[in-house]
Amino acid sequence: MKGSNLKEIYNDFHLGGYTKDFDSFEFKSISDKNSIKNKSIYFCGKAIFWQTLKANSEKDLLIIFSKKFFDEGGTDLLSQLKDYSFWATVENLPLAMSALSEPFYKEFTAEDNDEVDGRQMGTCEVHPTAIISQGVFLGAHVKIGRNVRLYPGCVVSSFCEIEDETILYPNVTLMPRTRLGKFCRIHSGTVIGSDGFGYNFNEGVHHKVWHMGGVIIGDNVEIGSNSSVDQGTFSPTKIYSGTKIDNLVQVAHNVQLGMGTILCGQAGVAGSATIGDFTVVGGSAAIAPDCHIGKACQIGGLAGVMNNLEDGAKVAGFPARPIKEWLKGLAYVRKMTLKK
């Protein structure tokens, strides 16, 4: 999409210094801090986004700053922008994100076809050993590996990939650009790759952030029935190999689940949280947005994790705190309530 088109879609950004012809420059995508690509747009309203960008080698992009963050950075920030092709400021960064993500979404999904089965259109690659039951729908450009088994009612949408020996039980839905590794088992009613819950409120309207990041799932992952894994906003939600997810679990957009993690029933992981390898999240526990949970942590059932946790942490309660401290607190409350 050319810079001149971006101006037409959202004309409320103020271009600063730039090194190339903005109007004719072709922008290919939108980046986020998990995946920064040249010829893309990058939204920056907090220090963490700016620090991540500075540590990256890509320079040929448009950085859109919130005016507040940019003004607070002052001359120091301005002096560091000389190597970047384009930068701009906006009064309302979330609104700009909503407005500019929609045309990229439409462009990105233009070749999707989930109305006519891809086998009928000749765009699918299905290994001859795969077992595809009656009542299964395959979208455009789907790839199915060796000995994959798809039970009745499954929907595998455009550009999905399923590797060898993976099983989808009845009525599983894979939304576009979901990739499943080998030897995975996905149980009935689970949906992988639907849009994350992302809206920006302005003048009485919730403006949608358009999602196009997809989901990548490693090998030997099992997901219970009626769970949901949302696709990333501009880069993938990722679940690494060996992870096991129980029934009725919510994994939000841009979440990163490490190897061998365990999520018990009704747990919820909010957007952009990361969970380290072999951490266990108890039933109905909740992880707040952007939290970083270390490796080999244990999070008690019904806990509410609001802050980052170091490797090996054991927490419980709401807000979550070290389990020994939480148990002492419970004992003290009980003692006081039973006191005559």
Q: For 235-274, how does the pLDDT look when each residue is reduced to its tens digit (9 = 90+)?
A: 999 999 999 999 999 999 999 999 999 999 999 999 999 9
Q: Decide if pLDDT at 340 tops 80.
A: no
Q: Is residue 184 within 8 Å of residue 203, measured between CB atoms?
A: no
Q: Per-residue pLDDT averaged across 160-164, rounded?
A: 98
Q: Which of 127, 206, 253, 292 is catalytic?
A: 253
3-state secondary structure of 153: coil
Q: Decide if pLDDT at 281 tops 90.
A: yes
The encoded tokens of residue 140 equal: 């455009």
Task: Please tell us whether the domain made up of 3-108 is placed in CATH 3.30.70.3270.
Answer: no
Other Cβ atoms closer than 10 A to 202 = 12
Q: Per-residue pLDDT averaged across 123-136, rounded?
A: 98
Distance CA 175, CA 66 (A): 32
Known catalytic membership, residue 187: no
Half-sphere exposure of 46 (CA within 13 A, CB side): 6
Residue 179 CA to its chain's centroid (Å): 13
Question: Strand 280-281's sheet: what is its strand order?
Answer: 131-132, 149-150, 167-168, 185-186, 222-223, 244-245, 262-263, 280-281, 298-299, 314-316, 321-322
Question: Can you give the pTM of this predicted structure?
Answer: 0.96
Q: How confident is the model at residue 283 (pLDDT cuts 50, 70, 90)?
A: very high
Domain boundaries for CATH 3.40.1390.10 within the chain: 3-108
- Domain 118-326: give its CATH architecture: 3 Solenoid (2.160)
Distance CA 222, CA 228 (A): 13
Q: Per-residue pLDDT averaged across 96-114, rounded?
A: 97
Domain boundaries for CATH 2.160.10.10 within the chain: 118-326
Q: How confident is the model at residue 59 (pLDDT cuts 50, 70, 90)?
A: very high
Q: Per-residue pLDDT averaged across 312-337, rounded?
A: 94
3-state secondary structure of 58: coil
